[in-house]
């Protein structure tokens, strides 16, 4: 029979630091506060490097792609989406920074949960992070492939479509085009019948692809190759990864500053009217794509054991990266909707589009943007490929994964097996999968991780002794303030969104009911947190982190909640069949 109390045993911070001081084979020692390593990971990252890693992860597909869709739905008011998302991330960033300063080891939110909430929740968050990084990496690799092939076409280099597309997309495109062709519509008239250029391209890829034993040989080769390259860079060492990342981040930030500075001269003030054409609903439509871009500071914390001074530099880097990226996002969004009317921005490459014939007509800048997009996505993939192996390494140290996951390369001092496995986990699926819609799933996993990190800070005694030199989340008593904010928010919804409130209580069938389940859960959580805050005088910042991230999760739809639930069930099965039995806490007792 399972001892429920044992599932929530926390791991003392002292034990975590002690185990992190040994490599996976148990040889040598490494002082977590020292700049040098004996047999452990190389401590080479400073605050500039860490900030660059955060910017690398945040400034990617969000600013070069999904910002257009978000602007088309929200209009100029989309800037409030960036502000709200940044605030939600900032609340979580304070909590991340406190843990990173107190527990400067690899593992990110997984390790923080182990120290504050117990083993079961630590496993859940670790399993959740594996999904976040794996799906995020695959999506970024596929997106990089799209930008790279488009860039080559701009220089007159045309790769066969069957090596630049996944089989699922090609198959669907073939079926949709063939259905129209079978009605007698000629190929030349497909566009007039509403068939997209992407579907036509997919049809052509299916028709021209070589076959082996009746199977169409269609795969996204560039996505796989870039994954191999990034995995190699990450494998050979953090020093090399740092140098590559710093150079590329400076290049893409320079391009964005050029876009903002030059684009300001082409802004038409009339394009800002109406400022909020589709209300709050329109602004929040882009939440998944935008939040997907904001998860970079989570990746920063996975490099804690490679920082020169993690207690000081990690909190600073998180705040610097979040602030810089938010300013860049808002400035770029204002330029986009100022140059071209917002309803025309639902395109895959909005920055290049607004400087094309439909906008400012600055052709040379479109080419520069295309190159910088390829660079930007490379750095995103680099940072995420750094993060996932280090989480595996931390889980392996605790016995929740086999020991080989924490093995360090004798020369490069990187988690060698975990890094190679990450390359396979990302490189193979991106050959065949179409993941243009998985940003929602990645975002829901990240938001869940943020909520648990904030909950971890809430579980700590605000009056505990403070260690000099460490960062602590500022304490503001939420006993009265938080319940009052929840009450005021409810009253404002009743006053300004009466129709929405009425609709919430109308349940026609299962389809209409299930979509409201996430919001129901959120409302119950707010009532519970209000009571808990009043009873225990909880801290406001982590409370607001839980509330804001919880609300953003409700905007991601029932389907993503269902997929997320299935993923957690699979993870719990592995935990009870293997991880719990092999946990060092369990074997020690």
Q: Residue 294 CA to chain centroid, in angstroms?
A: 6
Instruction: Find the mean pLDDT for residues 25-53.
Output: 62
The answer as to whether 19 is a domain residue is no
pLDDT value at position 481?
93
pLDDT more than 70, % of the chain: 87
What CA–CA distance (Å, rounded) separates 74 from 81?
A: 8
For residues 531 and 425, state if they share a domain: no
Lookup: tokens for 558: 């029932």
**Packing angle of the helix pair 363-397, 238-263 (nearest 10 deg):** 150
Instruction: Report the range of poorest mean pLDDT among 89-93, 298-302, 499-503.
Output: 499-503
CATH number at residue 314: 1.20.1740.10
pLDDT over 70 at 180, yes or no = yes
Question: What are phi and psi for residue 441, nearest 5 degrees?
Answer: -65, -40
Highest mean pLDDT, choosing among 140-149, 213-222, 548-557, 570-579: 570-579
Lookup: tokens for 406: 């924490």
The answer as to whether 38 is a domain residue is no
Instruction: Find the mean pLDDT for residues 496-514.
Output: 67
Do residues 73 and 282 make contact, with C-beta atoms less than 8 angstroms apart?
Answer: yes
Lookup: tokens for 73: 């739905």
For residues 432 and 518, state if they share a domain: no
Residue 293 banded pLDDT, cuts 50, 70, 90: low
User: Which position has the token pair 């909520």?
Assistant: 451
The answer as to whether 465 is a domain residue is no
Q: Could you tell me if residue 237 is left (phi over 0), alpha (psi between -120 and 50 degrees) or otherwise beta? A: left
Is the Cα torsion angle 398, 403, 405, 411 positive or negative in sign? positive
Candidates 130, 27, 117; CA nearest to 392 is 130
What CA–CA distance (Å, rounded) separates 524 from 522?
A: 5
pLDDT over 80 at 157, yes or no = yes
What CA–CA distance (Å, rounded) separates 500 from 503?
A: 5
The answer as to whether 471 is a domain residue is no
pLDDT value at position 468?
80
Instruction: Find the mean pLDDT for residues 464-470.
Output: 79
What CA–CA distance (Å, rounded) separates 27 from 50?
A: 28
For residues 564 and 506, state if they share a domain: yes
For residues 212 and 232, state if they share a domain: no
Length of the chain: 589
The answer as to whether 34 is a domain residue is no
The answer as to whether 179 is a domain residue is yes
Alpha helices in 497-578 (DSSP H): 498-504, 510-514, 517-536, 540-554, 558-574
- Average pLDDT over all residues of the chain: 81
- Write the pLDDT tens digit of every residue in 332-358: 889 988 988 888 887 667 887 888 777
For residues 422 and 517, state if they share a domain: no
For residues 340 and 363, state if they share a domain: yes
The DSSP line for 332-397 is HHHHHHHHS-GGG--SS-HHHHHTSTTTT--HHHHHHHHHHHHHHHHHHHHHHHHHHHHHHHHHHH
Instruction: For residue 274, say if its preceding peptide bond is cis, omega within 30 degrees of 0.
Output: yes
What CA–CA distance (Å, rounded) separates 130 from 558?
A: 21
**Packing angle of the helix pair 363-397, 221-235 (nearest 10 deg):** 60
Candidates 571, 581, 585, 582; CA nearest to 130 is 571
Candidates 225, 219, 210; CA nearest to 170 is 219
For residues 445 and 584, state if they share a domain: no
Better pLDDT: 16 or 479: 479
What CA–CA distance (Å, rounded) separates 377 from 57?
A: 8
Which of the 8 DSSP states describes residue 236? Answer: T
> Over the range 91-112, which residues count as b (16 or more CB within 10 Å of their CB) and which as e?
bbbbbbbbbbbbbbbbbbbbbb
Domain count, the chain: 3
- Write the pLDDT tens digit of every residue in 219-249: 889 989 999 999 998 888 777 778 888 888 8
For residues 295 and 428, state if they share a domain: yes
Candidates 9, 53, 150, 97; CA nearest to 382 is 53
The tally of CA atoms less than 13 A away on the side-chain side of residue 500 is 13
Q: Residue 242 CA to chain centroid, in angstroms?
A: 20
Q: Could you tell me if residue 211 is left (phi over 0), alpha (psi between -120 and 50 degrees) or otherwise beta? A: beta
pLDDT value at position 30?
41
For residues 263 and 368, state if they share a domain: yes
Do residues 81 and 279 make contact, with C-beta atoms less than 8 angstroms apart?
Answer: no
Q: How many CB atoms lie within 10 A of CB 161?
A: 20
Do residues 308 and 100 make contact, with C-beta atoms less than 8 angstroms apart?
Answer: no
Instruction: Find the mean pLDDT for residues 562-566.
Output: 87
The DSSP line for 447-486 is HHHHHHHHHHHHTS-TTSPPPTT---PPP-B-TTHHHHHH
pLDDT over 60 at 418, yes or no = yes
Range of the domain at 336: 45-155+223-458
Instruction: Find the mean pLDDT for residues 1-5.
Output: 62
pLDDT over 50 at 517, yes or no = yes
For residues 377 and 516, state if they share a domain: no
Which of the 8 DSSP states describes residue 269? Answer: G
pLDDT value at position 25?
39
The tally of CA atoms less than 13 A away on the side-chain side of residue 463 is 3
H or E segment and range at residue 211:
strand 211-212
What is the pTM (predicted TM-score) of this model?
0.80
Last residue of a domain, one of 423, 458, 493: 458
The answer as to whether 35 is a domain residue is no
pLDDT over 70 at 135, yes or no = yes
For residues 546 and 435, state if they share a domain: no
pLDDT value at position 283?
79
Residue 573 banded pLDDT, cuts 50, 70, 90: very high
Lookup: tokens for 157: 């280099």
H or E segment and range at residue 130:
helix 119-154
The answer as to whether 472 is a domain residue is no
What CA–CA distance (Å, rounded) separates 302 from 501?
A: 41
Which of the 8 DSSP states describes residue 35? Answer: S
pLDDT more than 90, % of the chain: 10
For residues 367 and 442, state if they share a domain: yes
pLDDT over 70 at 3, yes or no = no
């Amino acid at each position: 029979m399972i001892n429920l109390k044992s599932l929530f045993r926390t791991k003392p911070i002292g034990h975590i630091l002690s185990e992190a001081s040994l490599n996976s084979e148990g040889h040598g020692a490494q002082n977590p506060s020292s700049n040098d390593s004996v047999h452990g990971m190389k401590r080479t990252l400073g605050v500039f490097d860490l900030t660059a890693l955060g910017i690398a992860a945040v400034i990617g597909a969000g600013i070069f792609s999904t910002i257009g869709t978000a602007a088309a739905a929200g209009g100029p008011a989309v800037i409030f989406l960036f502000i709200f998302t940044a605030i939600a991330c900032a609340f979580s960033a304070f909590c991340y920074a406190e843990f990173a300063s107190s527990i400067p080891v690899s593992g990110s939110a997984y390790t923080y949960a182990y120290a504050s909430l117990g083993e079961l929740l630590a496993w859940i968050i670790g399993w959740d992070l594996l999904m976040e990084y794996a799906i995020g990496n695959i999506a970024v690799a596929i997106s990089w492939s799209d930008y790279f092939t488009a860039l080559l076409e701009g220089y007159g280099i045309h790769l066969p479509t069957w090596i630049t597309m996944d089989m699922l997309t090609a198959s669907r495109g073939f079926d949709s085009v063939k259905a129209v062709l079978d009605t007698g519509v000629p190929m030349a008239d497909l566009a007039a019948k509403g068939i997209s250029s992407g579907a036509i391209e997919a049809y052509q890829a299916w028709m021209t692809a070589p076959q082996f034993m009746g199977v169409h040989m269609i795969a996204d080769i560039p996505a796989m190759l870039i994954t191999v390259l990034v995995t190699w860079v990450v494998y050979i060492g953090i020093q090399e990864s740092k140098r590559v990342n710093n150079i590329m981040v400076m290049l893409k930030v320079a391009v964005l500053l050029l876009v903002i500075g030059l684009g300001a001269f082409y802004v038409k003030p009339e394009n800002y009217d109406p400022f909020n054409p589709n209300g709050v609903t329109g602004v929040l439509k882009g939440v998944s794509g935008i939040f997907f871009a904001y998860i970079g500071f989570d990746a920063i914390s996975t490099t804690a054991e490679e920082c020169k001074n993690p207690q000081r530099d990690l909190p600073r880097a998180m705040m610097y990266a979040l602030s810089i990226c938010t300013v860049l996002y808002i400035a770029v969004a204002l330029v986009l909707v100022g140059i071209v009317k917002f309803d025309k921005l639902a395109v895959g490459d909005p920055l290049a589009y607004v400087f094309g014939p439909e906008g400012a007509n600055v052709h040379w800048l479109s080419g520069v943007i295309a190159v910088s997009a390829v660079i930007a996505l490379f750095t995103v993939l680099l940072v995420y490929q750094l993060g996932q192996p280090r989480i595996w390494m931390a889980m392996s140290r605790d016995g929740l994964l086999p020991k080989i996951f924490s093995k360090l390369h004798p020369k490069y001092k990187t988690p060698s097996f975990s890094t190679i496995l990450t390359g396979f986990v990302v490189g193979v699926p991106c050959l065949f999968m179409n993941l243009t819609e998985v940003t929602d799933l990645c975002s829901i996993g990240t938001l869940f991780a943020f909520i648990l990190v904030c909950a971890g800070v809430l579980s700590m005694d605000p009056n505990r002794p403070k260690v000099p030199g460490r960062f602590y989340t500022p304490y503001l008593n939420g006993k009265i303030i938080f319940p009052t904010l929840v009450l005021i928010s409810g009253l404002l919804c009743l006053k300004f969104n009466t129709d929405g409130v009425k609709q919430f209580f109308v349940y026609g069938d299962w389809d209409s009911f299930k979509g409201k389940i996430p919001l129901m859960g959120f409302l119950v959580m707010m009532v519970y947190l209000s009571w808990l805050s009043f009873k225990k005088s909880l801290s406001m910042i982590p409370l607001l982190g839980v509330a804001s991230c919880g609300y953003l999760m409700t905007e991601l739809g029932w389907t993503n909640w269902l997929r997320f639930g299935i993923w957690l069930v699979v993870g719990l099965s592995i935990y009870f069949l293997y991880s719990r039995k092999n946990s060092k806490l369990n074997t020690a007792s």
